[in-house]
Amino acid sequence: MRMFLDSAHVNEIREALDMWDIDGLTTNPRHVAAAGRPINDILDEIGEIFSGTEKPVSVEVDPHLTDWTAIVEEGVRLAEISENFVIKVGAGEAGYRAVQELSEHGIRTNVTLVFSTPQAWHAARCGATYVSPFLGWKEAHGDDVSTFIGEISLLYENFGYPTQIIAAAIRNSRQIADAALAGAHCVTAGVAVYRESFANPYTDMGHRVFGDAWNSITQDESSD
């Protein structure tokens, strides 16, 4: 399962590439707003950071666009900024039609804001490269997400759809493991969630136990 960072903070992105060799990036308007810089500057810089790599970078079209031709126009403009850019389009009738058009023009797409298996099916039918089911948002509103990724994965497998599943809006390490076991091709999460996924309280305990043992060994040596 590929590891994507969900962020628009360029320092964070550079660090995640350096430390974790992340496989790609996803952004959304909220991340761009949180980065506190003009969107065009951020997109240019992110394009440069990933230039020369095969790593995909999902960038979202203006969510206000309701006409599919306007979504296509914006998608084409964004795709011209960087070869790495994958056009992120919100689920919905106009979005799916735009994804179909973009796919026919060889532009990679990521259908975002997906909350049901039929929405994921539409994304695949339209030729989306990626689909982003939002686990955290669904769970926060009381929905059971335990079968969500598995259902999409089975549907795609049954009909041979090549669309890749990005498990999105991930809030903890458990969701990362569940997504992987259910067949997600990729996961996207923020830095804090990944940090948590590297750690475990038993590992911390083990470091203390072995650290104490190490101290006793070195003390024995120094008293010889």
Q: Catalytic residue positions?
A: 88
Contact 1, 184 (CB under 8 A): yes
- Which part of the chain contacts ligand E4P (CB under 6 A), choosing from 68-76, 128-136, 145-153, 209-217? 128-136
Q: How far is CA 198 from CA 2, 13, 114, 169, in A?
A: 15, 17, 28, 18
* Least Cβ distance, residue 130 to ligand E4P (angstroms): 9
Our finding on whether 30 is near ligand E4P (CB under 6 A) is yes
Beta carbons of 166 and 130 less than 8 angstroms apart: yes
Q: Could you tell me if 57 and 24 are in contact, meaning their C-beta atoms sit under 8 angstroms apart?
A: yes
Instruction: Work out whether 174 is an interface residue with ligand E4P (CB under 6 A).
Output: no
CB of 218 to ligand E4P, least distance (A): 45
| Alpha carbon 209 to chain centroid, angstroms | 36
Segment contacting ligand E4P by CB under 6 A, of 32-40, 75-83, 99-107, 130-138: 130-138
Among 72, 114, 120, 169, binds ligand E4P (CB under 6 A): 169
Crossing angle for the helix pair 173-182 and 148-159, to the nearest 10 degrees? 20
Q: Please report, as a single letter, which amino acid is at residue 40.
A: N
**Rule CB under 6 A: is residue 28 a binding residue for ligand E4P?**
yes
**Binding-site ranges for ligand E4P (CB under 6 A):** 6, 26, 28, 30, 112, 132, 134, 136, 168-169, 188
